[in-house]
Amino acid sequence: MAEAWRWFSEKTATAEIEDLKSYIGKLPAVPEPMKEIYQGLPKVEGSVLCFGCTGYIGQAVVFDAARRGLKVTVFVRQHSLDRFKATLQQLKIQDRVSLQIGEVTSQDDIEKAMQASRAECVVTLLASPQITDEQNVYDIDYTASHTIVTAARKNGV
């Protein structure tokens, strides 16, 4: 078993984490090997409305979008509001992210968020956490996602 972890260096891993923490709240510094890739990326501007972005991957999307200068709005459920606000504060981007409160199962809430945010783009990372509850999977993974796409088309997003 020790063979599998031979490549791991606690000192290197700790240094990498400290380096990543130093970027919180700042524009990204691009490491030398990545400059060519980043220089090839187009300049980003505009606004984005994010659904399903309060989890691990979604937080990374929101963080990067805010750091790159996009106007970011996150659609968040009432019961997740305090936890997500704390995450935004920890990432030091609370002043760069707007919140719309609602339920992804409510077409009215989605429509209101589209209109209020005036987003030019929608990102959805919705996924049901209830993999054994077929109705929940259908409601979130299909119905809510379909409702978001329909509302985006209706609002010209």
Domain containing residue 75: CATH number: 3.40.50.720
Query: Which residue segment(s) compose the domain that 122 sits in?
Result: 45-154
143 inside domain: yes
93 inside domain: yes
Distance CA 152, CA 110 (A): 9
96 inside domain: yes
User: Across the beta sheet with 97-101, what order do the strands follow?
Assistant: 97-101, 71-76, 47-51, 121-124
pLDDT higher at 25 or 73: 73
This prediction's pTM: 0.71
Task: Find the helix or strand (DSSP H, E) in which 83 lies.
Answer: helix 81-90
129 inside domain: yes
Number of structural domains in the chain: 1
The answer on pLDDT for 156 being more than 60 is yes
10 confidence band (pLDDT: 50, 70, 90) = confident
User: Which of 111, 141, 108 minimizes the C-alpha distance to 126?
Assistant: 141
2 inside domain: no
27 inside domain: no
pLDDT, one tens digit per residue, over 28-69 is 566 666 666 656 666 778 999 999 999 888 999 999 899 888
38 inside domain: no
15 inside domain: no
